[in-house]
Amino acid sequence: MTLTEILPAIRQLPTLDKIRLIRILAEELDTEKELFPFEPYKIYYLPTPFNAFGAGKALMDAMEMADRS
């Protein structure tokens, strides 16, 4: 059965049943081993706005320019 075949039936479900379906599917995904794309104990560096003071100034300047327009 394909997703396009079951979507009409899912859309007709009451809200509570849709939430139950979401929980069931999430629990099934949680048990799959191949789902998580990261390697255990590996460090991944992610860019964040922490200590990015220039970004705040650039945003304020853009907001001021938008106010003037």
**Enclosing domain of residue 63:** 3-68
Q: What CA–CA distances, in Å, run from 21 to 3, 6, 8, 12?
A: 14, 12, 14, 13
Give the DSSP H or E segment for 8: helix 3-11
Residue-wise burial string across 32-69, b where 16 or more C-beta atoms lie within 10 A, e elsewhere: eeeeeeeeeeeeeeeeeeeeeeeeeeeeeeeeeeeeee
pLDDT tens per residue across all 69 residues of the chain: 899 999 999 999 999 999 999 999 988 877 766 766 777 888 988 887 777 778 888 888 999 998 887
* Domain count along the chain: 1
- Whole-model pTM: value is 0.46
Q: Would you state the structure tokens that stand for residue 2, as one six-digit string? A: 């394909």
SS3 5: helix
